[in-house]
């Protein structure tokens, strides 16, 4: 009973803070409530060496982070370099309640620091100068390069000076300075993180635009943030194709000039493996070759010290829904949060080799390719190419070649084969991972030995919010498990009332955390309306979530993806999981369509396992599988066989497009420029009536 009381005290928070989830069963080592065979217990050896080795340890730390956020985060922040320490009396201040005035979040106010200095100079001072910071793997086999922390710092410094001196030259006194925006439209060359770090070093605000976006999308972003310069390269090889990026930038710049925003400098990296400068279109008074200028500058450069709340970057959300929003992150809190989440969610150790397949054009590439890992002094693999080029074994070739230990990817990019002996922790992001994909990732990719960090978070949150800490507790396939330190997730019903225990509803966050975004650029009102007005008092994530008996969290997809069939609210993720559990179904994407009788009907796109042919019989057995697992009310009205699904290159299924195809609005597909395989859309349309 003593033991029980101890558990009680760990799981109950002081009044006002609400209850944490019931982790009791886990702590007591009892079987968890859900189906026994669904549980995968982390192996003991892993737990023994993990940063957080048990549920008790987690709860102690978690409890402190909630009861005393100021103390918890100050202790961590103290391990970083601050030119001037923050105001001790006010480590953070927050108002998340629209009824109490403007939404405002601040962390470490008064502190003065620089994230580039912490990521590079501080690690070099700690003796990591000769450690590899980046292994760069090119698109084509056999192409690669390496930078140590020392070399990376030199490159960043040269580029930093370029930004100062060169622009001051060309533009007289308008040079890029603290607070100015710079757009970076580059593929995964090392110059991409170099440019980001250089902006951070001088306090300029980078806005990376994924180099797969169309010229319209790019110019929309240019017009929104009015950058001092655009950084790009002439072309890039992706798989067997060559993409002429400079042409896209040129037309984006024409378009933005027409909309009143003209750009004076377009710095262009000559990417010789894709295109030479002779064939690159050029505008003499605006365009500058990176190679002609940057390497002439000295390799050391002073840091511009910035306030903790000075903006670090602006990133437009991926746009799987509606008009892109310029998510703004500031310096101090983001730095502490990405470094800490990286360390714990991947159980990072100095000997690890880390590879995240995300492009720096997405938030994952900001927080977990660039800042989080480098702040920890980690060696990072950067990959320029496509995961299936020259064949689908490429990912595992890279894992084996660099002896990758921490591998972080999107669940939709999972592929098979190769030894992968080096792997230690697997990470997944971007979409709910369905239990059968989870099992496959765990059993096949990780040889049943590597914990999986199914990380739930968003562009807006800056870093992980709900995620396993490898080794700390048993995992359930498909569950993102428990909140990270300092995060109080709650589930609310339609009226905004917090619901406890086993429940399902809208996922909100009750408090601020250091990595939270501070506003939408130039539109604080939209920030409040989108995220804080739906459920006053809370940050609303836009995602649905359920919590099981053991307190585990299960993301059910975006709330707009919930389908209302005759009054039953059905999460698309649930139906998809049921379909994918069918042995012949490889992948599924479910959307709602208008239905005369039911209000909404369920329309399911399915891809099949290699070699399987679609047939009437198979259609019936797929539907049966949903009926059995969820119930007759969730049975799809229509199964649409899909040779492939439209995905962004970050691995997200574009349900927006599928919804249009399902409802026959074929002229309103919207921007399809970030699709990895645009031809998939035509195939789907052709198969609509079969």
Output b/e per residue, 434-469; b: 16+ Cβ within 10 A. Answer: bbbbbbbbbeebbeeebbbbbbbbbbbbbbbbbbbb
CB of 158 to ligand ATP, least distance (A): 32
Contact call for residue 357 and ligand ATP (CB under 6 A)? no
CB of 461 to ligand ATP, least distance (A): 8
Stretch that binds ligand ATP, among 62-70, 228-236, 317-325, 437-445 (CB under 6 A): 317-325
> For residues 573 and 622, which CB has a smaller minimum distance to ligand ATP in the complex?
573
CB of 310 to ligand ATP, least distance (A): 23
Maximum Cα interatomic distance, the chain, rounded to a whole number of Å: 79
Considering only residues 56, 299, 321, 673, which one is a binding residue for ligand ATP as defined by CB under 6 A?
321
Considering only residues 238, 558, 649, 660, which one is a binding residue for ligand ATP as defined by CB under 6 A?
558
Output b/e per residue, 627-636; b: 16+ Cβ within 10 A. Answer: eeebeeebbb
Considering only residues 115, 120, 176, 363, which one is a binding residue for ligand ATP as defined by CB under 6 A?
363
Backbone angles phi, psi at 88, to 5 degrees: -60, -25
Place of tokens 């009054």: 567
Contact call for residue 659 and ligand ATP (CB under 6 A)? no
The 3-class secondary structure across 262-325, one letter per residue, is CCCEEEEECCCCCCCHHHCCCCCCCEEEHHHHHHHCCCCCCCCCEECCCEEEEEECCCCCCCCC
Q: Which residues pair with residue 466 across a beta bridge?
A: 456, 483
CB of 137 to ligand ATP, least distance (A): 23
Q: Which residues pair with residue 19 across a beta bridge?
A: 12
Contact call for residue 207 and ligand ATP (CB under 6 A)? no
Write out the DSSP string of 242-254: EE-HHHHHHHHHH
The token pair at 340 is 């800490």
- The angle at the Cα of 261, spanning 258 to 263, to the nearest 5 degrees, equals 110
> For residues 189 and 480, which CB has a smaller minimum distance to ligand ATP in the complex?
480
Q: Cα(183)–Cα(174) distance, rounded to whole angstroms?
A: 16
Considering only residues 309, 347, 543, 587, which one is a binding residue for ligand ATP as defined by CB under 6 A?
543
Tell me which residues are annotated as active site.
560
CB of 342 to ligand ATP, least distance (A): 16
Considering only residues 123, 158, 268, 317, which one is a binding residue for ligand ATP as defined by CB under 6 A?
317
Contact call for residue 360 and ligand ATP (CB under 6 A)? no
CB of 689 to ligand ATP, least distance (A): 29
Stretch that binds ligand ATP, among 50-58, 129-137, 166-174, 316-324 (CB under 6 A): 316-324
CB of 332 to ligand ATP, least distance (A): 22
Q: Restricting to residues 400-439, name those near ligand ATP by CB under 6 A.
A: 429-432
Nearest C-alpha neighbor of 223 from the set 268, 267, 254: 254
> For residues 110 and 451, which CB has a smaller minimum distance to ligand ATP in the complex?
451
Report DSSP state, residue 684. Answer: H
CB of 670 to ligand ATP, least distance (A): 12
Q: Which residues pair with residue 356 across a beta bridge?
A: 408
CB of 33 to ligand ATP, least distance (A): 21
Contact call for residue 530 and ligand ATP (CB under 6 A)? no
Omega prior to 390 cis, within 30 of 0: yes
Considering only residues 219, 331, 436, 459, which one is a binding residue for ligand ATP as defined by CB under 6 A?
459
Say if CB 225 and CB 314 are below 8 A apart.
Answer: yes
Considering only residues 318, 338, 379, 475, which one is a binding residue for ligand ATP as defined by CB under 6 A?
318
- Host H or E run for residue 523: none
647: left (phi over 0), alpha (psi -120 to 50) or beta: beta
Q: Cα(158)–Cα(144) distance, rounded to whole angstroms?
A: 22
Q: Cα(445)–Cα(678) distance, rounded to whole angstroms?
A: 28
Stretch that binds ligand ATP, among 54-62, 211-219, 341-349, 453-461 (CB under 6 A): 453-461
Q: Is the dihedral of CA 645, 650, 652, 656 positive or negative?
A: negative
* One character per residue 635-654, x = contact with ligand ATP (rule: CB under 6 A): -----------------x--
Q: Cα(350)–Cα(227) distance, rounded to whole angstroms?
A: 37
Stretch that binds ligand ATP, among 46-54, 108-116, 117-125, 311-319 (CB under 6 A): 311-319
Stretch that binds ligand ATP, among 39-47, 54-62, 448-456, 580-588 (CB under 6 A): 448-456
Considering only residues 303, 480, 520, 579, which one is a binding residue for ligand ATP as defined by CB under 6 A?
480
Say if CB 103 and CB 527 are below 8 A apart.
Answer: yes
Q: Cα(71)–Cα(565) distance, rounded to whole angstroms?
A: 48
Length of the chain: 690
Number of alpha carbons in the 13 Å side-chain half-sphere of residue 278: 0
Number of alpha carbons in the 13 Å side-chain half-sphere of residue 527: 21
Query: Both ends of the chain: CA-CA distance in Å?
Result: 64
Contact call for residue 319 and ligand ATP (CB under 6 A)? yes
Stretch that binds ligand ATP, among 262-270, 381-389, 539-547, 591-599 (CB under 6 A): 539-547
Considering only residues 139, 166, 412, 455, which one is a binding residue for ligand ATP as defined by CB under 6 A?
455
> For residues 201 and 206, which CB has a smaller minimum distance to ligand ATP in the complex?
206
> For residues 363 and 492, which CB has a smaller minimum distance to ligand ATP in the complex?
363
> For residues 80 and 605, which CB has a smaller minimum distance to ligand ATP in the complex?
605
CB of 649 to ligand ATP, least distance (A): 12
Sites of contact with ligand ATP (CB under 6 A): 317-321, 362-363, 429-432, 454-456, 458-459, 480, 541-543, 555, 558, 652
């Amino acid at each position: 009973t003593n033991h029980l009381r101890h558990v009680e005290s760990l799981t109950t928070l002081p009044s006002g803070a609400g209850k944490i989830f019931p982790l009791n069963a886990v702590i007591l080592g009892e079987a968890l409530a859900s189906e026994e065979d669904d549980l995968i217990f982390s192996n003991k050896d892993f737990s023994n060496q993990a940063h957080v080795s048990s549920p008790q340890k987690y709860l102690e730390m978690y409890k402190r982070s909630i009861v005393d956020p100021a103390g918890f985060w100050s202790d961590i922040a103290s391990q970083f370099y601050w030119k001037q320490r923050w105001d001790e009396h006010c480590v953070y201040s927050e108002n998340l309640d629209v009824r109490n005035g403007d939404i405002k979040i601040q962390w470490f106010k008064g502190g003065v620091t620089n994230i580039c200095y912490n990521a590079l100079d501080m690690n070099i001072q700690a003796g990591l100068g000769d450690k590899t910071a980046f292994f760069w793997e090119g698109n084509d086999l056999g192409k690669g390069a390496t930078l140590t922390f020392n070399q990376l710092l030199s490159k960043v410094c040269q580029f930093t000076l370029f930004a100062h001196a060169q622009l001051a030259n060309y533009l007289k006194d308008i040079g890029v300075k603290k607070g100015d925006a710079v757009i970076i439209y580059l593929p995964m060359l090392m110059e991409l993180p170099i440019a980001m770090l250089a902006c951070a070093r001088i306090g300029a605000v980078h806005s990376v635009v994924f180099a797969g976006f169309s010229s319209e999308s790019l110019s929309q972003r240019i017009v929104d943030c009015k950058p001092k310069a655009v950084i790009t390269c002439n072309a890039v090889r992706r798989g067997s194709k060559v993409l002429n990026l400079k042409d896209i930038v040129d037309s984006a710049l024409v378009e933005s000039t027409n909309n009143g925003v003209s750009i004076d400098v377009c710095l262009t990296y000559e990417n010789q493996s894709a295109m030479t400068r002779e064939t690159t279109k050029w505008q003499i008074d605006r365009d500058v070759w990176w190679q002609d200028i940057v390497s002439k500058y000295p390799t050391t450069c002073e840091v511009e010290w910035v306030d903790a709340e000075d903006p670090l970057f602006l990133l437009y959300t991926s746009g799987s829904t509606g008009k892109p929003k310029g998510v703004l992150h500031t310096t101090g809190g983001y730095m502490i949060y990405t470094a800490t989440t990286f360390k714990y969610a991947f159980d990072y150790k100095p000997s690890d080799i880390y590879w995240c397949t995300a492009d720096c054009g997405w938030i994952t590439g900001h927080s977990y390719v660039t800042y989080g890992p480098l702040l920890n002094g980690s060696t990072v693999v950067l990959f320029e190419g496509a995961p299936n080029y020259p064949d689908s074994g490429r990912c595992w070739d890279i894992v084996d070649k660099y002896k990758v230990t921490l591998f972080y990817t999107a669940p939709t990019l999972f592929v098979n084969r190769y030894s992968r002996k080096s792997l230690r922790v697997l990470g997944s992001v971007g979409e709910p991972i369905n239990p059968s994909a989870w099992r496959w990732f765990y059993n096949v990719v990780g040889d049943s030995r590597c914990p999986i960090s199914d990380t739930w978070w968003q562009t807006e949150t800056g870093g992980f919010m709900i995620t396993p800490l490898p080794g700390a507790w048993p995992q359930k396939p498909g569950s993102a498990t428990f909140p990270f330190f300092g995060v109080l997730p709650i589930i609310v019903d339609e009226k905004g009332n917090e619901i406890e225990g086993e429940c399902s509803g809208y996922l909100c966050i009750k408090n601020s955390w250091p990595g939270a975004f501070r506003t939408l650029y130039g539109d604080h009102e939209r920030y409040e309306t989108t995220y804080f007005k739906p459920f006053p008092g809370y940050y609303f994530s836009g995602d649905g979530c359920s919590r099981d008996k053991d307190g585990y969290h299960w993301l059910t997809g975006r709330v707009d993806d919930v389908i209302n069939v005759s009054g039953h609210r059905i999460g698309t993720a649930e139906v998809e999981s049921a379909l994918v559990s069918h042995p012949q179904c490889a992948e599924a994407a479910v959307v709602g369509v208008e239905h005369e009788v039911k209000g909404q009907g369920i329309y399911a796109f399915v891809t099949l396992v290699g070699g399987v042919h679609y047939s009437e019989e198979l259609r019936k057995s797929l539907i049966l599988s949903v009926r059995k697992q969820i119930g007759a009310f969730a049975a799809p009205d229509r199964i649409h066989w899909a040779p492939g699904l439209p995905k962004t290159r970050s691995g997200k299924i574009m349900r927006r497009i599928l919804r249009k195809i399902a409802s026959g609005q074929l002229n309103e597909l919207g921007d399809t420029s970030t699709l990895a395989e645009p031809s998939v859309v035509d195939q789907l349309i052709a198969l609509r009536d079969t």
